[in-house]
Amino acid sequence: MHSHLQSVAEAVGLTMKPRDVIINSRRALGAAEFAREHQLFDDMHHALFKAHWEGWGRLEDVSDLVRIGTGVGLDAVELRDAIETNRYDVVIDENRRMASSAGIDAIPAHIFGRRYLVLGAQPYDVFRQVLEKMVTAG
């Protein structure tokens, strides 16, 4: 699986360093929700992935999350408080329930046109085939 992910990453110009632990991403999800409220979700999402896959950020560590968040323009004190008080637990739990009810049990997961679900890291051709199917199905 790792070689497949590595080849997919290399094909699109991403750096992926292997991680020696499986992380609990709950705090990172909370940090992303905080960013969403401040209209910085896309920037935070990208920064979190970059920090994780390039190996310089620990997404389970509050200080690293605050450092990543301030790098995209979030307030450090407010972000730390949101993470440490688990402000977004209800939102995270609801998102997980919705994903599970839609059959999502892997990440990444992509839903196209509310009809097609692609789970896990996939080669470009898989996404192209789904888009072609959407076009022909009308």
pLDDT of 19: 67
CA distances from 7 to 16, 47, 48, 108, 132 (A): 10, 21, 21, 16, 23
- pLDDT tens digits for 42-87? 999 999 988 988 888 899 999 999 999 999 999 999 999 999 999 9
Q: pTM of the entire structure? A: 0.74
